[in-house]
Structure 1
Amino acid sequence: MNKPLVGVCLAVLLCGATAAPATAAGAERAVAPAVAAVDLAGTVALDNCSGSVVRVPGSQPGDPALVLSNGHCLESGFPAPGEVVVDKPSSRRFTLLNASGGNLATLRASKIAYATMTDTDMSLYELTSTYRDIESRYGVKSLELDTARPAQGRAITVASGFWKKLYKCTIDGFAHRLKEGSWTWKDSVRYTPDCKTIGGTSGAPVIDDATGKVVAVNNTGNDRGGRCTDNNPCEVDETGKVTVREGVNYGQQTYTLVPCVGTGNKIDLGRAGCTLPKPARGR
């Protein structure tokens, strides 16, 4: 996974995203009218990772805002395979950035609304601030999650709040399964080599340049050509064939999160269309 960092610049573990041999990408969506150039507005810096303030199409101005990052960026450490965290109290802090990467404010979480490293690598924090609070006080709008699966060949930007840096490339394809150490992720986005993401970029939003919407969350990459080990994910296709792509980075799609967000921005894993992993019974 794209390594979370501890303190100023000590890499912990993981480095990148999630991939597998390219599979059919599905029909290309019509290109939307060009939007303003992608920048760092609405991204956040965690103490060890990147993230962004996000909303779904149904989010309202008075709803508590949400911050998207990786499951492996949790303050409590990596969730175990099969583990799903829901509604866990948290007071984590995030540094909100403006378009050029300047620090605007410190935002605070009230809880971890959802997090897992099973099938995907995602964390979603609920903040003590609403979208209206953030926009009126700091002039920054949240980033919207796309409701549709991204398409191969789309121009994207990985916007890292930790490094205050933009990585630009295109979607090279998709990994049926991406395996890294104990974890396996499904239908991961593979970037072209231009996106040379590094430790600290974990959790950064992957933004479609044409729409300005978030289509994935950056999470890992193959550092040294290793096969399915920590920091060296491998792609596994439908037949079980393993492919290693040294130096290639990956992200986890986020459109699957949208159906799971209900009224008031509350996570509801029982909503129609919600396919995210659920906690084991009794937890």
Structure 2
Amino acid sequence: MKKPLVGALFAVLLLGAGIAPATAATSHGAAPAARTAVKAEKAVRAKAVNFAGTVALSNCSGSVVRTPSSQPGDPALVLSNGHCLETGFPAPGAVVFNRSSSRSFTLLNASGSGVGTVRASKIAYGTMTDTDISVYQLTSTYAQIESRYGIKALELSTTHPVAGTAITVASGYWKRLYSCNVDGFVYRLKEGNWTWKDSVRYTSACQTIGGTSGSPVIDNATGKVVAVNNTGNEDGQRCTDNNPCEVDANGQVTVRQGINYAQETYGIAACIGTGNVFDLNRAGCALPKP
């Protein structure tokens, strides 16, 4: 895992040159008399990814998220990693469900400045089995957060990410953006005692570090969250802590030193019902149960 504070001093040295600038994907070569439909599509799709809606935890990164069916009056949700939980790493097979929490999060605006603090009422869901996610329910609604801070939640995509997609990993902890592409998907990603299914592998440009755990992975074209950043192979070791290995369907193991990974999030929305309440028995919900 991209452990929250392990190597943090080293990371500070790495960041001494400053925060990486936000960049937007742009289209080139459009004719002066481009069709209206094309212009309209660009207006919708060419959105710069920034820090708005991301949060800084005490030890990790995260984001305020919503499902397509979430309502303004629903209690807002914060997405991060299971290994970022204040209760410690969940054991293999363990699920944290509806556990009281008063954890606080610093909410960031587009430029990465903290605009206020939001607070959890509970850990709605958390696990490191099959995936590595935590979802906190807040004491504030989406409408209250938008009214008070002018910040809208990031929407969770409900479709599987696609190889080659341009993405941005937005770290609220470091206030840093990492831009790369989805390189592919890993049948099983094994790290120490934990195994994750169908993980996202980044291209080498996303050199995420400790503290970026829990960062939303945002599709540059749609602005939606497609995954949550969680780990990378630091030392070239095989399947050890901080050195995940890839295992294919035939059991073949591959080690990719310096390559980083995320966990898909498209399946989360299927487990959330009316009022943003987790219901693990909903049709289509495949998250591990307690």
2:152 counterpart of 1:141 = yes
Give the aligned partner of residue 236 of structure 1: 247
Give the aligned partner of residue 5 of structure 1: 5
Q: How many residues end up aligned between the 2 structures?
A: 260
Give the CA deviation at 1:3: 1.6
2:150 counterpart of 1:171 = no
Give the aligned partner of residue 21 of structure 2: none
Of structures 1 and 2, the one scoring higher in RCO (CA 8 A, sep 6+) is 1
2:257 counterpart of 1:246 = yes
2:143 counterpart of 1:118 = no
2:119 counterpart of 1:108 = yes
Contact 1:149 1:255 in 2 (8 A): yes
Give the aligned partner of residue 83 of structure 1: 94
Contact 1:42 1:142 in 2 (8 A): yes
Give the CA deviation at 1:48: 0.4
2:75 counterpart of 1:64 = yes
Residue identity in the other structure for 1:184: T
Tell me, what secondary structure is at the counterpart of 2:268? helix
Q: Percent identity at matched positions? A: 72
Instruction: Output the TM-score relative to the length of structure 2.
Output: 0.87
* Aligned CA distance change for structure 1 residues 10 and 82 (closer, same or farther; 3 Å): farther
Tell me, what secondary structure is at the counterpart of 1:173? strand
Which residue of 45, 48, 72 maps to 2:56? Answer: 45
Residue identity in the other structure for 2:286: T
RMSD of the TM alignment (CA)? 1.6
Residue identity in the other structure for 2:285: C
CA radius of gyration, larger in: 2
Residue identity in the other structure for 1:272: A
Instruction: Output the TM-score relative to the length of structure 1.
Output: 0.90
Give the distance between the partners of 1:56 and 1:91, measured in 2 at CA.
23
Tell me, what secondary structure is at the counterpart of 2:71? coil
| Unmatched segments (≥5 aa) in structure 1 | 12-30
Tell me, what secondary structure is at the counterpart of 1:255? coil
Runs of 4+ with deviation above 4 angstroms: 8-11
Deviation string, structure 1 residues 48-102 (Cα, Å, up to 9, x no partner): 0000000000000000000000000000110000000100000000000000100
2:166 counterpart of 1:155 = yes
Tell me, what secondary structure is at the counterpart of 2:45? coil
Q: Where in structure 2 are the equivalents of 1:177-196 lying within 5 Å?
A: 177-196=188-207
Which residue of 232, 242, 248 maps to 1:221? Answer: 232
Give the distance between the partners of 2:62 and 2:260, measured in 1 at CA.
17
Give the CA deviation at 1:35: 3.6
